[in-house]
Amino acid sequence: MAEPLIAGARPTSAEIDLEAVRHNVAELRRASSTDVCAVVKADGYGHGAVPVATAALEAGATWLAVALVEEGVALRAAGITAPVLVLSEPHPAAAPVVVANGLRPTLYTESGVAALAAAATTSDEPFAVHVKVDTGMHRVGAQPESVVELVQRVVSSPSLRFEGLWTHLATADELDPAFTNEQLRRFEEVRSTLAAAGYRPSMVHASNSAGSLHHPQARYDLVRCGIAVYGYPPAPGRAVDADLRPVMSVRSKVSLVKRVVAGEAVSYGQRHRFERDTVVATVPIGYADGVPRRLSAVGGEVLIGGRRRRIAGTVTMDQILVACDEDGSVAIGDDVVLLGRQGDEIITADDWAQPLETISYEILCGISGRVPRVYR
């Protein structure tokens, strides 16, 4: 029989700064001059959907967005009453759950409209839905030429109300605005065609974080901000008119210190061999916690004693080894920062992402559930 886990037995945690969430949302409201929808899918990009949603709403966000119906249900179970947009069309079997929880479904197929219309007959008033247009990303959404007929089906259903029309931008984070402009042109064509047919939604939205920060013409009535809420620019290195503060920091403590002599190698595969005697610190966090296994191979670092220290050898499932050169002051119990600030140094999710040829989104979402979240 496995022994029960003891809270706090491992000195590893992800600290979530909810004041930074509030700050970032306020900055996004200022920069976009429109309503903000905080995207809290994937458990708030790994930060905790309910605490982040609550902080975002406190800072003036008026909408929330999720990817899955069950994510929206979890927000409702926590007592959150703000509008919650489900970004993909719900499975027809989930339509009654959407209605029962007052979620805003995205629709883009005839079967989706039919399922929501049938489920919404239990509603006291016409149930608000949003129609998504595929303007070029080609992931989900109705084809532009079929939108009028789809909206007509919504409007002709007594149980439904055509509240929103939206699209998603595929390249808003890139320097070349050509394709974003083309998507917006296609979107405007759809809007004009709908207006000519007498269909005008109550609200229109197109911007993700990148659209909000880099394409003013895409802001419309609402901006759907994900990564920026969590303190990261959608395009690293590109200036934004917003002071964004990273929300998550990942911390641990040194669990063991040893001296490895010159010529010895460490960790699986013995891929890191020391040329001189080196103090090596063991830290109880590994790839099962979200530290990418390849991070050591691309020069990954942590902070100990306010200094950058390189990860030595292959990241293992539960632990990493850190080369501390000849610094004999490093001791068991010393604070270790994997993501965040220590003294004058800071390591960000972008610092991990760029050499790994990925994005900050994946790094943040990858911090696993076995790392306790601590909120302040």
Compute the CA torsion angle 311, 14, 32, 217 (nearest 10 deg): 50
Give the integer Cα–Cα distance in Å for 289 and 284: 10
Give the integer Cα–Cα distance in Å for 373 and 207: 29
Quick check: is 253 catalytic? no
* Set 41, 108, 132, 230: catalytic member: 41
Quick check: is 199 catalytic? no
Residue type (1 letter), 63: W
* Set 45, 132, 253, 268: catalytic member: 268
Give the integer Cα–Cα distance in Å for 101 and 119: 12
Are 15 and 335 in contact, with CB atoms under 8 Å apart? Answer: no
- Point out the residues that are catalytic: 41, 268
